[in-house]
Amino acid sequence: MMAMIGGEMEKEFESKLNVQDNLADNGGTDVNKAKSFKFRAPQENFTVQDFEMGKIYGVGSYSKVVRAKKKDTGKVYALKIMDKKFITKENKTAYVKLERIVLDQLTHPGIIQLHFTFQDTYSLYMALESCEGGELFDQITRKGRLTEDEARFYVAEIVDALEYMHNMGLIHRDIKPENLLLTSDGHIKIADFGSVKPMQDSQITVLPNATSEEEKASTFVGTAAYVPPEVLNSSPATIGNDLWALGCTLFQMLSGTSPFKDASEWLIFQRIIARDVRFPDYFSKDAKDLIDKLLDIDPLKRPGAGPDGYESLKNHPFFRGIDWRNIRSKTPPRLVPEKGPASGRSSGGDDTPDSSWNPTHIGDVTTTGNMVADVTSSSDASHITKLASIDSFDSKWQQFLEPGESILMISMVKKLQKLSNKKVQLILTNKPKLIYVDPSKLAGKGTIIWSDDPNDLSIQVTSPSSFKICIPKKVITFEDPKQRAYQWKKAIEALQNR
């Protein structure tokens, strides 16, 4: 019975995702149409049993990325796992296809490489080059802010990769510190190509129907804080989008926060449209000037987007001394490791045998499809947390909302308790409602009773990353690694005073 259901699902999914078939009947006039296309990164017949699953690198809106070591070769990959049912239900097939086909055609040391793909009844798997150094975002958070030399190193590597990508006719559209990953030795790799947009004259082959639902509905693609003003005014995407986002990213490296920060997306958009940007005094003249130019309201005036191409960007005084031809041979800034139980672990080379590997944590395909276990959250290898089964894999927070209710703010935070700290998803809705959810079990863990009266509900910020929510007879302490404590306070108080 299970097999039949699985088989049906696979067929349905295949019909939506079959690249070769789509290409074969392509009669459209798309600029990037292909009569025949062969993937470079092969579609393998592997199964999850061929890998030893390790820690979870991160969770995206429709995927989970897990460290996975191929048993026969010992090679380590970042396995991006996507639940077919979820992707189909959420109309994300266009993103998946696009990311797969685009990554397949890109070869640059500053861009994450796709090694191979495979699938089973429930999931699609993309074996990506593993970035052991984590997100640039976390380096900024851990260091507070970067020195100008450190920022210059990272921005130069990003510029080098963007130049390649833009020359290939691709706009990334979601450049931000979370999508800039670091290798174990600290070099930058651009990741997350789900929002990519090929230009008219792109050298990249895409599918004729590779337009996402959001695109068709012309809602904006990307991340609120890094989106340029013209996109908010529904102008078509240009490479200027990425250059604006680069300006925001440099600002964030140097200051610790993005330039257009506010409590809600709507307020952020107001700031972007007004180009309400204020430079801290400690930014150098050159850094201010470069950011100011990258944040030009006119996308064509942003350095890199004008008629002289990338020369005007690379020749900017901020980059004085950069040897653009040998950029990847320079020594990267020191990486600050994560604090906590995992920090003592070797974050070193992909081939380093890792004592936390445990043969018992391989996916259980017999009962639930695929289960993966997080073995690195504790040095004790017997501590194995089973993650949500594939059915609830990646399911969104929507299930905790009523019809018409929408999320105003959401953060993966730590709820500090006497004996143990719990990771929870804290959600504030427009109802207003304040709840926290267990992200792995996808179970509601608590509701903080709402009151407009600050005597019955108040929020105290104790540092940029920690805050307390005070309700009658109870104080709940949270830690937000993304340092949004003040934003939480602002958002809750704004709702109380609405």
Ligand X SMILES: Nc1ncnc2c1ncn2[C@@H]1O[C@H](COP(=O)(O)OP(=O)(O)OP(=O)(O)O)[C@@H](O)[C@H]1O
**Residue number, 154 or 310, with CB nearest to ligand X:** 154
Of 19 and 59, the one with the shorter C-beta distance to ligand X is 59
Give CA separation, 432 vs 2, 200, 457, 492, in Å.
41, 44, 12, 9
Contacting residues for 460 by C-beta, under 8 A, at least 6 apart: 467, 468, 470, 489
Minimum distance from residue 132 beta carbon to ligand X (Å): 7
- Measured from the CB atom, the residue of 81 and 168 that comes closer to ligand X is 81
Contact positions vs ligand X (CB under 6 A): 57-61, 63, 65, 78, 80, 112, 128-131, 135, 178-179, 181, 191-192, 194
**One-letter amino acid of 229:** P
For ligand X, the closer of residues 191 and 371 by Cβ is: 191
What minimum distance in Å lies between the beta carbon of 104 and ligand X? 15
**Side-chain half-sphere exposure of 244, counting CA atoms within 13 A:** 31
CB-nearest residue to ligand X = 60
Q: Which C-beta is closer to ligand X: that of 372 or that of 495?
A: 372
Residue closer to ligand X (CB basis): 192 or 354: 192
Burial class (CB in 10 A: 0-12, 13-18, 19+), 218: exposed
The residues carrying an active-site annotation are 174
Supply the minimum distance, in Å, between the C-beta of residue 429 and ligand X: 20
Nearest approach in angstroms of CB 402 to ligand X is: 24
Contact (CB, 8 A) for 292 and 298: no
Q: For residue 94, with 0-12 CB atoms within 10 Å meaning exposed, 13-18 middle and 19 or more buried, which class applies?
A: buried
Q: Residues near 294 by Cβ (< 8 Å), separated by ≥ 6?
A: 243, 244, 246, 247, 250, 302, 303
Contact 212, 222 (CB under 8 A): no
- In the numeric block, the tokens 């003003």 are attached to 229
Angle at which helix 285-294 crosses helix 239-255, to 10 degrees, equals: 150
Of 173, 73, 186, 57, the residue nearest 126 (C-alpha)? 57
The vertex-229 CA angle with 277 and 482, nearest 5°, equals 60
- Residue 6: count of CB within 10 angstroms of its CB: 15
CB of 263 to ligand X, least distance (A): 21
The residue among 60 and 306 lying less far from ligand X, judged by its C-beta, is 60
Our measurement of the distance from residue 222's CA atom to the centroid of its chain's CA atoms, rounded to an integer in Å, reads 10
Rank residues 173 and 361 by Cβ distance to ligand X and give the closer one: 173
- Smallest gap from Cβ 134 to ligand X, in A, equals 7
C-alpha torsion sign, points 228, 95, 399, 461: negative
Please enumerate, as own/partner, the contacts of 88-92 that have beta carbons within 8 Å and a separation of 24 or more.
88/12, 88/13, 88/16, 90/62, 90/396, 91/212, 91/213, 92/62, 92/212
Contact of 115 with 128, CB cutoff 8 Å: yes
Long-range contacts of 485-488 (CB under 8 A, 24+ apart): 485/461, 486/461, 487/261, 487/262, 487/263, 487/409, 488/409, 488/411, 488/426, 488/428, 488/459, 488/461
Residue number, 194 or 299, with CB nearest to ligand X: 194
Give the chain's end-to-end CA distance (angstroms, integer).
53
Instruction: Provide, rounded to whole angstroms, the least separation between the CB of residue 135 and ligand X.
Output: 5
Q: Label residue 307 exposed, middle or buried (CB < 10 Å: 0-12, 13-18, 19+).
A: exposed
DSSP for 218-270, written as a single string: T---S-GGG--HHHHTTPPP-HHHHHHHHHHHHHHHHHSS-SS--SSHHHHHH
d(CA 260, CA 257): 9
Complex with ligand X: residue 55 or 468, whichever CB lies closer:
55
